[in-house]
A and B are shown apart, each in its own frame.
Chain A
């Protein structure tokens, strides 16, 4: 079976600073894949590179077709939703307007209205706060909003950048549980970038370990968990 996303020899740079040095990985349709690694390893840059938010070279295929070289807006239209680093909330707009923007490129108006209820069923707190200015939501609520905004696209692939960042453990658990539910119920494939390796490996089917812009290790989550070096450096036992 062909992979949903196939990345080969991906390089990326911010001006003269090269961050990714030719990484290869793939995501199976319907799976959850985690990118692990320390600060500055290039995890966030990898997600940005997939959405053409940095200069890149190399080949990215989504559902068989090449998407490298396309503009960010066009990549989104293919069904790749990106929950960016920092959540990307439109802070001066209401919760509901943020969600509506998530479905901006969709033409099926009636299904969009139903999808509001669908994401509210995952995150009932957002429904309570739907007329509230999004900038006034708590960090956890803004993360829920960011995930919900991405779901409003009805994506085939969801890119999640550090959904646990800066949140209380209880809320992180809630969000991770919902990720799993979304993956199973809606068959959305997920690419997850996480510093919290233990949680990410519990959730993911496959994982890649990135160090200084290169893939150092890949395998199923169970294989990665068994790895001596990963255990010592990233899992801490």
Chain B
């Protein structure tokens, strides 16, 4: 029971990162390999802010804002010039971004592991035996983020325009949507979601420049399980991968081989059902 619940907590974090991946994938059909490092870098920013004397929540909000701006700037400055390049060129840019963010963080903050505070009390809520307050809080925040995103895309004109731009850029331009900016906004939102995931996971795995490597892998698995073009699927996949990883890790294969669960899932999904549970089959007319 405890393992399942703990799995839900980490699953929420995978779900957030997977959601960030899916958002960029939907808009540009690229998988952003640097998503995890971006989240890690933002978590360090939050750490700096907290150390500079900000309270946790002001630092949290400020970090989300900074992450958004960082995402927009990266899209405008780094991704835009390679927008129409072959997919390999884009992948190389993503990997370059990953390495740069990782090294820059190590250079600024050193590679020594740091602790990161949790906003939630140390003693469990209501004296329950199963989940720590941080785990419950992380799930709660994930769900709030999801609801806000859903409402944004479903009910606001800007959200509708972003969906339109992602689906059919040519038509979107013909109704006057500035498609380039919509992509930049998508990057900003994805970076902001990633930063929240980073801040939620840092108290559990501690802060170090490589903290997101494993998480990104789980998030990839989650995105694939759910269907890489389905936001709802990504969230479902995130929770599923989190639970599977914890339960299998605790009872079947042991903690050392946990990461293999993600790899097996990725390969399994790609072989058996490449579109994932909720993905759509894309048919291209020739």
A53 part of interface (Cβ distance < 8 Å) = yes
Q: A88–B171 contact, CB under 8 A?
A: yes
B160 part of interface (Cβ distance < 8 Å) = yes
**B167 — which chain A residues lie within 8 A by C-beta?**
90-93
**B164 — which chain A residues lie within 8 A by C-beta?**
90, 93, 101
CB distance from B92 to the nearest CB of A (A): 25
A90–B160 Cα distance when bound, in Å, is 11
Size category of the B interface is 10 to 19
A93–B162 Cα distance when bound, in Å, is 12
CB distance from A103 to the nearest CB of B (A): 8
**B157 — which chain A residues lie within 8 A by C-beta?**
100, 104
Residue of A nearest to B178 (CB): A73
A73–B161 Cα distance when bound, in Å, is 13
Q: Is the interface of A mostly helix, strand, loop or mixed?
A: loop
Q: B160–A73 contact, CB under 8 A?
A: no
Size category of the A interface is 20 to 34
Residue of B nearest to A98 (CB): B164
**A153 — which chain B residues lie within 8 A by C-beta?**
175-176
Q: Which stretch (A76-84, A194-202, A222-230) binds chain B?
A: A76-84
**A88 — which chain B residues lie within 8 A by C-beta?**
168, 170-171, 174
Convert A55-76 into 0s and 1s, putting 1 for each residue whose CB lies closer than 8 angstroms to a CB of B.
0000000000000000111001
Q: A101–B170 contact, CB under 8 A?
A: no
Q: Using known A-B contacts A88-B168, A90-B168, A93-B167, determine if residue A101 contacts B173 with beta carbons closer than 8 Å.
A: no
Residue of B nearest to A152 (CB): B175
Convert B124-165 into 0s and 1s, putting 1 for each residue whose CB lies closer than 8 angstroms to a CB of A.
000000000000000000000000000000000100110110
CB distance from A90 to the nearest CB of B (A): 5
Residue from the set A51, A91, A101 with the largest chain B CB neighbour count within 10 Å: A101
**A53 — which chain B residues lie within 8 A by C-beta?**
170, 173
Q: A149–B160 contact, CB under 8 A?
A: no
Residue of B nearest to A84 (CB): B174
Interface residues of A in 149-201 (CB under 8 A from B): 149, 153
Q: B177–A73 contact, CB under 8 A?
A: yes
**B179 — which chain A residues lie within 8 A by C-beta?**
73
Q: B176–A105 contact, CB under 8 A?
A: yes
A95–B157 Cα distance when bound, in Å, is 15
**A140 — which chain B residues lie within 8 A by C-beta?**
none
**B175 — which chain A residues lie within 8 A by C-beta?**
76, 101-102, 104-105, 149, 153
A97 part of interface (Cβ distance < 8 Å) = yes
**A100 — which chain B residues lie within 8 A by C-beta?**
157, 160
Residue of B nearest to A109 (CB): B157
CB distance from B3 to the nearest CB of A (A): 38
A89 part of interface (Cβ distance < 8 Å) = yes
CB distance from A86 to the nearest CB of B (A): 9
CB distance from B219 to the nearest CB of A (A): 24
**A149 — which chain B residues lie within 8 A by C-beta?**
175
CB distance from A141 to the nearest CB of B (A): 17
A53–B178 Cα distance when bound, in Å, is 14
A149–B172 Cα distance when bound, in Å, is 11
**A71 — which chain B residues lie within 8 A by C-beta?**
173
A89–B179 Cα distance when bound, in Å, is 16
A17–B173 Cα distance when bound, in Å, is 24
A90–B168 Cα distance when bound, in Å, is 6
A81–B175 Cα distance when bound, in Å, is 7
**A97 — which chain B residues lie within 8 A by C-beta?**
160
Residue of B nearest to A149 (CB): B175
A88–B175 Cα distance when bound, in Å, is 10
Q: A76–B160 contact, CB under 8 A?
A: no
**B170 — which chain A residues lie within 8 A by C-beta?**
53, 84, 88
CB distance from B277 to the nearest CB of A (A): 18
A53–B174 Cα distance when bound, in Å, is 9
Q: A84–B171 contact, CB under 8 A?
A: yes
A105–B174 Cα distance when bound, in Å, is 11
Q: B161–A101 contact, CB under 8 A?
A: yes
**A93 — which chain B residues lie within 8 A by C-beta?**
160, 163-164, 167
CB distance from A108 to the nearest CB of B (A): 13
A-B contact pairs, 28 of them (CB 8 A): A53-B173, A71-B173, A72-B173, A72-B174, A73-B176, A76-B175, A76-B176, A84-B171, A88-B170, A88-B171, A88-B174, A89-B168, A90-B163, A90-B167, A90-B171, A91-B168, A92-B163, A93-B163, A93-B164, A100-B157, A101-B160, A101-B172, A104-B157, A104-B160, A104-B177, A105-B175, A105-B176, A149-B175
Given contacts A76-B175, A84-B170, A100-B160, 10 further A-B contacts (CB under 8 A): A53-B173, A72-B174, A73-B177, A73-B178, A76-B176, A84-B171, A90-B171, A91-B167, A93-B163, A93-B167
8 pairs of A and B residues whose beta carbons are closest in the complex: A88-B171, A105-B176, A76-B176, A72-B173, A101-B175, A82-B174, A104-B175, A73-B176
